[in-house]
Structure formats: structure tokens, C-alpha cells
Structure 1
Amino acid sequence: MATVKVTDATFDEEVRKSDVPVIVDFWAEWCGPCRMIGPALEELSEEMSGKIKIVKVNVDENPDSPAVLGVRGIPALFMFKNGQVVSNKVGAAPKAALQSWIESEL
């Protein structure tokens, strides 16, 4: 399952009402570190399909969701379980570090 693009309008449906834990990647086109972790998140989305869902929110196009969560820097990754934030991580990291963070929270 590839990453899913989420907007302010679809955030509650895709993230807060999900049956599986969701990783939300707040990113922007102009953000180098965001583009750097993109492929790793795509791979993890495929490899961990069924266990988690990974979604991407473009902060330039969707300012409301990051504002509600107090996102100040990107990339910002938030893990939601049962509609609530259980963990977050700011900044780029290698795929192995991202995977280990996700698995430690599942």
C-alpha cells in the first residue's frame, strides 16, 4: 500500500478514524529533508502494509492540520493510534531509524 495524500478536509476520516495506526508525514515540496525521507516512507508503507498506514500532508496546501498539532518544523512525523497522537518525531532520519521508531510504537 503506497502512502496516501491527505488534506485538511480528509484528515479526520483518514487519520483519526483509521482502524490501524497511522503515521502522518507533514512535508512540503521545497523541503530537502522531506524529499529525502519520502522514498523510505514509501518503502515502509509497502513493507508494513496492514500493520500501519502512512499518509502525507503538504503543509503549504493544508495549513490547518499542522497548526492544530503545533507543527513548527518539517519533516514532522506523527503517529496516531485510535485517533490520538502517541508519538512524534521531527527531522529526517535513515530508513532503519524510521522503521525502528515505528516498530517501537506499535
Structure 2
Amino acid sequence: MTLDPSDMPSNSEADTATTSQRLRNFLVAMVAIALSIALFFGSRQQTEQPSLSALAADSTPIEIALTNQKPTLMEFYANWCTSCQAMADDMHSLKQEFSDQVNFVMLNVDNSKWLPEVLKFDVDGIPHFVYLDGSGEALASSVGQQPRQILADNLAALVAEDTLPTSKAMGQTSIFQPAVRGNQDDPRSHGGMPAGGI
């Protein structure tokens, strides 16, 4: 079989094919770089969601919340509580939206300092939310993971001094059993109470 010179690509056709291939390779490389950058920043954004500890550190101290005449949303939580963790973004955005009008108080149930409040508000599952009016009187509570909109509606009603639209709501919870006596075997106790309890 002999090759006909007219069947052979000319140099200009070969150059065009090579240039086209280089352009495709360049575009593929650019798309890969762009996707890598997007994934990097997307994963950074996901890991930078507010932590429960950061939210608690930025919350209003209970002593101030009970005396400043503003309504209060009190959240009982624990760092190990997956429902509490799942709500951290919503709680952060709600605090940004309502912080001028509402106190946001976070009480870690693992800290025995809050045992009187845990008992007073019958906390047996977390997250546990208590809505307090400006005088510190409990108006309603909800237990478990709550949709952001329910919390927002309740906070808006709290600010307006209206009846809360969802005053008793239940969601997914982490079971919490308050330790009335110090128990060094309890991994959540962190050695917070002396032997013999209160």
C-alpha cells in the first residue's frame, strides 16, 4: 500500500491540530485549577462554622441577662451534643439578627455551676431552649433540634411581647441526665462537683 501525498496532512493542518490540542489541555488545566480553588475555599468555609464554645464565649452572662430588662433566649447545651452542634450556624445567624433586642445565654450542662438552672427548668434533653421575658420570667420552652424559622418566629414574638407561636416544640435531642451528686465515673462530669454533691 502506498500513501498518496494528498492523504497526508499538511504542515498547516498538523500545526492547527497541535494548537487545538494545546488549547484543550490548557482549558482542562484551568478548569481543574478553578475546581481545586473552589473546593479548597468551600471546605474552609465549612470548617469555619461557629463552634459551641465560641458561641458560649460570646453569649450574654446570665447575671446580666436577668437584670437588663431585655427578653432572653437561654440555651442549655453540651459540646458533645450533635443536635446542638447541628444548630450552631442557625444560632449564630439568629444572634446576629436579634442581638440588639434579645439576650442569648448559653449554659453548658456539663458545668455543675449551672445545676440549679438545669433543675429549675427541668432540663432532661438538649438542646433545651427557654424563652424569658424582660423581667426574667420563663414564658415557654422547646427541647431538641429546632428549625431556624421556628426560633426566629418565637424571637420576633418575644421582642414584640406577643404570644410565642411555637411555645412547646420537640425536636431531635441528646439525652441528658443531670448528676445531682458528683460522679467521677461520669465522662461528662469533668470533675466539676466535689464528692458528696450538693
- Bin for the TM-score computed over the shorter chain: 0.7 to 0.9
After TM superposition, the structure 1 = structure 2 runs for residues 55-94 of structure 1, keeping only pairs within 5 Å, are 55-61=105-111, 62-81=114-133, 82-94=135-147
Q: Which has the higher contact order (CA 8 A, sep 6+)?
A: 1
Identity %, equivalent residues: 23
Task: Determine helix, strand or coil for the equivalent of 2:119.
Answer: helix
RMSD: 1.7
Q: Partners in 2 of 1:18 and 1:91 — Cα distance?
A: 27
Does structure 2 conserve the Cα–Cα contact (< 8 Å) formed by 1:15 and 1:80? no
Aligned residue type for 2:141: N
Aligned match of 2:69 in 13, 16, 19?
19
User: Paired residues, what number?
Assistant: 100
Normalized per residue, the structure richer in strand is: 1
Alpha-carbon separation, structure 2, partners of 1:73 and 1:97: 18
Query: Is the alpha carbon distance of 1:35 and 1:5 closer, same or farther for their aligned partners in structure 2, counting shifts above 3 Å?
Result: farther
Aligned residue identity for 2:92: E
For the residues of structure 2 that align with 1:92 and 1:75, how far apart are their CA atoms? 7
The answer on 1:4 being equivalent to 2:59 is yes
Gaps of 5+ in 2: 1-54, 160-198
Q: Which has the higher helix share?
A: 2
How far apart in 2 are the matches of 1:41 and 1:30?
17
TM (norm. structure 2) is 0.47
Shift of 1:100: 1.4
Change (3 A) 1:73 1:33: same
